[in-house]
Amino acid sequence: MRTMEGFRKELGHIRRPVDGRIFALKLAVLCSLVAGGTALVLSGTAWLMAFGIILLGLMYAHAIELQHEALHGIGLRGSRGNVVAGVLLGIPMLISFAAYRSAHMRHHRLLGTPDNREFFDYGDQYGEGSGSRFRNAVVWVYRFSMIGHYANFLAVCARLAAGRRLPDERPTAMRGIRRDHALLAGVLIAVVTASVVTGSMLAVWLWLLPLVVANPVHALIELPEHYGCDTDTTDSLSNTRSIRSSKLMAWFTNGNNFHVEHHLMPSLPIAQLGELHVALEGRHRFYHRTYREFFRWLLSGGTAGRPGPLLQPSESG
């Protein structure tokens, strides 16, 4: 059987230089939609405000998918640009670019081993657990609310404020983590203080309520990546899932649907993952044609021992 390294060498011709213009366009679209959502919320018309809140929530979740591209250094050509963009993209959901990058790179190295850990703590990350209906309901509420992420953010802030380091983090990563948490905590404190002093509800309408949308949407975007896959192997074709999806969902998830491809070649620019997906036809172990198909499988009782249908691109029409 051909090894992962063999696949990478075989498919190396797909790799092309990073085109920062594509990422810049994604950022421009994001900013435009955030501005549009803000205008709708400020309109004062109930149904327009509701639509604006939903749009902002969707864009906050989308921003984290763009942050993921930046942390791999494949958004813009220069490392400084990726860092600046990544830090700013994480502000709405209080996600440290440096902490996410450090944990995510470990995840890429250690997926399929007992030491693998994800940055976002969803509980029962890969669909391996079992329990009562009540316990399972609690796990899903925990996952979709992202309580674990915000609790960890506050815990890290407290730890850093006390002058303590984080275990397993190198000095270079720690500098970035301190920078990010100082910025995020500063923004949070400034917004809360301004809201209390002025009596304004803008922070609620433009930030808190959109997060009620963004949190479960982000969890849903990341759920299919490894859920129910063979996460006891380092083979990217078996421990990760890809979803062919529509162009709209491929944009919204920023190529996260091509997750096998991303794990196989993590330094490949997002815009080239579709080409790699075609080159891998017939080799995916866990594959779905649409997100709807994946969630139908999940709701029908999908578990780690019951993979999704082995559907290949040629079958999807």
pLDDT tens-digit readout, 53-100:
999 999 999 999 999 999 999 999 999 999 999 999 999 999 999 999
Q: How far apart, in whole angstroms, are the C-alpha atoms of residue 54 and residue 67?
A: 20
Sign of CA dihedral 274, 278, 280, 285: positive
Q: How confident is the model at residue 313 (pLDDT cuts 50, 70, 90)?
A: very low
Q: How many CB atoms lie within 10 A of CB 89?
A: 25
What's the chain's Rg over C-alpha atoms?
A: 20
The pLDDT, as a whole number, for residue 7 is 66
**115-147 per-position pLDDT tens digit:** 998 898 766 677 766 667 787 788 888 889 999
pLDDT for position 124: 65
Q: Which residue has tokens 């075609």? A: 278
Q: Are 316 and 281 in contact (CB under 8 A)?
A: no
Q: What is the pLDDT of residue 120?
A: 86
- Label each residue of 81-92 as H, E or C: HHHHHHHHHCCC
Q: Are 224 and 291 within 8 A, CB to CB?
A: yes
The helix/strand/coil state of 65 is helix
214 contacts 57 by C-beta, under 8 angstroms? yes
pLDDT at 130: 63
Looking at every residue in the chain, the average pLDDT score rounds to: 90
Q: What CA–CA distance (Å, rounded) separates 38 from 215?
A: 18
- Please tell me the number of Cα atoms within 13 Å of 135 on its side-chain side: 6
- pTM of the full predicted structure? 0.91
pLDDT at 140: 83
Determine the 3-state secondary structure of 263 from DSSP: helix
Q: What's the token pair of residue 238?
A: 């078996």
* Dihedral sign (CA 233, 142, 30, 82): negative
In the chain, the percentage of residues whose pLDDT exceeds 70 is 89
- How large is the angle between the packed helices 46-71 and 20-41, nearest 10 degrees? 160
Residue 169 CA: distances (Å) to CA of 83, 98, 175:
18, 10, 10
The mean pLDDT of 213-221, rounded to a whole number, is: 96
pLDDT at 5: 67
- Average pLDDT of the residues in 259-281: 94
What's the average model confidence in pLDDT over 99-111?
Answer: 96
- Pair 122, 140: CB distance under 8 Å: no
The per-residue DSSP string of 190-243 comes to: HHHHHHHHHT--HHIIIIIHHHHHHHHHHHHHHGGGTTTS-TTS--HHHH-EEE
Selection from 159, 211, 182 nearest residue 53 by Cα? 211
| pLDDT for residue 314 | 36
Q: Which amino acid is located at 189 in the chain? A: I
Choice between 242 and 128, residue whose per-residue pLDDT is larger: 242
Asked if 10 and 2 touch (Cβ cutoff 8 Å), the reply is yes
Residue 312: pLDDT above 50? no
| pLDDT for residue 252 | 98
54 in helix, strand or coil?
A: helix
CA distance 112 to 229: 10
Place of tokens 């979709």: 144
Residue 297 confidence class, pLDDT cut points 50, 70, 90: very high
Report pLDDT for 132.
Answer: 72
- Residue 2: pLDDT band by 50, 70, 90 thresholds? low
